[in-house]
Structure 1
Amino acid sequence: MTETTMPAAPGAVPHRTLPAGALPHDWRAVDEGWGRRGPDFATLSEPSACREYVALHHALGVDHGDHLLDVACGAGLAVELAALRGATCAGVDASARLVDVARVRSPEADLRVGDMHDLPWPDATFTVVSSFRGVWGTTPGALDEIRRVLVPGGRLGLTVWGHVKASPGAWALAPFRLAAEPQVRNQAAMTSLGRPGVGEAVLEAAGFVDVRRVRIPFAWEFADPATYARALASTGPAFVAIQEVGEPAFLAAAERGATAHVRAGLPLRAEVDVTGFLARTAAAR
């Protein structure tokens, strides 16, 4: 799914030559990071992304007649919501355990375990491709594959983290910095697409046209610090931090940081800046 500090695959490995459900070696860590607590992620963390999903679908004009692919679909909530707008949906994610959740949510969708650098669909299959914090500054090669599977004039919508440090909810991401320093630096490289002009340049270099930046609403909400800590621990970046400091220390730090933001009678709320990009492939001549 969505944000991860796991390394990108160093090259495209032909998906069709792998056994069913198998992935290139470098992607196994993604399932370990994201899939180990799939039910927690799907029920405690992902629902807060509904604002983000709905806003991008609306901006893309997802509707009946669309054939939509969600890249890094994770537990599949965005796929489920796109289908409610009338789209015929597909999704791909490197975490087999999250794809299992997505298949329960959307049994009619074409959901596959795979590498976004080698999408297992033919050229010009989809009218729309979305990805919610799944394509990063460290994985620009995925855009070549996305362009390949889009029809001429097909629409692309991406979201990425924006100016996190200036966000009122920046505190909610602070525990990720418990990871080892090289991983923290990698996080900064991953989120580079949100910087002024960077995402636009990367998309244009990948052959997309009519690129524009849009504001996307995003807010995490949790009942209490303990629920927030458990939800955060279900994500890929948390897994990297937990490997460095241990799970008890990670959970304790997360709860401690959240306690300062408790307001009597209200849920914890962390608004974080998320940037969206809309683009399309060139129309057929």
Structure 2
Amino acid sequence: MTTGTAAADWTVVDEGWGRRAVDFATLSEPANCREYVALHHRLGIGERDLVLDIACGAGLAVELARARGARCAGIDASGRLVAVARDRSPDSDLRVGDMHALPWADGSFDVVTSFRGVWGTTPAALGEIHRVLVPGGRVGLTVWGHLKQSPGVWALQPFRLASTAKVANQANMVSLGRPGAGEELLSRFGFVEVERISIPFAWEFPDPEGYARALAATGPAYEAIQHVGETEFFEAAVAQARERVREGLPLRAEIAVSGYLARKAS
């Protein structure tokens, strides 16, 4: 979930996503477990599968696929996040690299996953995913869904502190959540039996400060921090979350996430 730039500049991803890799791995990523588990279940990942996770980040999805018995590989543009992933899964093949030029041979994997890692701005990654799948192999992707109708969209608002150009690019990135967009893209790259599904997703945080710290560890937050500064970003995030505090309950942000399931033709 950590690659959102064009193939030519993939190495800059580590600037934003890797700068607080430990915070991301321990404060932000665990809330993605519902998403990871749901997609793994729908893909039927099991002991005979060799699985590749694209934009694997700190590797929690790889760990969960391994818990289902799969043998795993992963790739991410952030070397500092991959270091965390290797610490978590030292027996998996985890590499730093570009998802537009995967360093594996044709037909290497039974399943490829990507959790909010393939964007509307990186469509060519689907060609590489198709290439490394075996005939009949399965692919599962998740993307942000209908954000404006999501009750937890408030949790994404601090990202809009980025520059106008960056905010516009963020909108282009999430375009695969629009009706028909993901289906068309997967079909264009030769996938069959394309199905769109709803994926459970909720961020939970202990308090406004915990939310702000977790959010600040993400790439879109870094874009906002570059524009307004660390202090202003943190204060804005805390203020946003204070309006959502519930006595005796965690801060909770339910956000629409869509999944796509498909196969490479046999």
**Corresponding letter in the other structure for 1:76:** G
Tell me, yes or no, if structure 1 residue 137 matches structure 2 residue 120.
Answer: yes
- Report what 2:97 is aligned to: 114
- Report what 1:167 is aligned to: 150
Q: Shift of residue 76 of structure 1?
A: 0.1
**Aligned-partner Cα distance in 1 for 2:5–2:133:** 26
- Report what 1:223 is aligned to: 206
Q: Provide the TM-score with structure 1 as the length reference.
A: 0.92
Which structure 1 segments of 5+ residues have no match?
11-25
Identify which of 161, 164, 174 aligns with 1:191.
174
After superposition, the C-alpha distances for 1:226-247 in whole angstroms (9 at most, x for unaligned) are: 0000000000000000000000
**Aligned-partner Cα distance in 2 for 1:41–1:58:** 24
**Aligned-partner Cα distance in 2 for 1:144–1:218:** 27
Q: Shift of residue 255 of structure 1?
A: 0.3
Tell me, yes or no, if structure 1 residue 60 matches structure 2 residue 43.
Answer: yes
After superposition, the C-alpha distances for 1:64-97 in whole angstroms (9 at most, x for unaligned) are: 1000000000000000000000100000000000
Identify which of 165, 177, 195 aligns with 1:212.
195
Identify which of 254, 257, 278 aligns with 2:237.
254
Q: Shift of residue 264 of structure 1?
A: 0.5
- Report what 2:68 is aligned to: 85
Number of aligned residues: 266
Which structure 2 segments of 5+ residues have no match?
none
- 1:238 aligns to what SS in structure 2? helix
Tell me, yes or no, if structure 1 residue 269 matches structure 2 residue 265.
Answer: no
1:29-40 alignment, distance < 5 Å: 29-40=12-23
Q: Shift of residue 8 of structure 1?
A: 1.4
- Report what 1:105 is aligned to: 88
Tell me, yes or no, if structure 1 residue 73 matches structure 2 residue 56.
Answer: yes
Taking only aligned residues, the RMSD between alpha carbons, in angstroms, comes to 0.8
- Report what 2:159 is aligned to: 176
Q: Provide the TM-score with structure 2 as the length reference.
A: 0.99
Identity %: 70
Tell me, yes or no, if structure 1 residue 8 matches structure 2 residue 3.
Answer: no
- Report what 1:49 is aligned to: 32
After superposition, the C-alpha distances for 1:77-134 in whole angstroms (9 at most, x for unaligned) are: 0000000001000000000000000001000100000100000000000000000000
Please identify runs of 4+ aligned residues in structure 1 that moved more than 6 A: none
**Aligned-partner Cα distance in 2 for 1:168–1:73:** 27
**Aligned-partner Cα distance in 2 for 1:124–1:234:** 35
Q: Shift of residue 275 of structure 1?
A: 0.3
**Aligned-partner Cα distance in 2 for 1:81–1:119:** 22
Identify which of 233, 237, 244 aligns with 2:216.
233
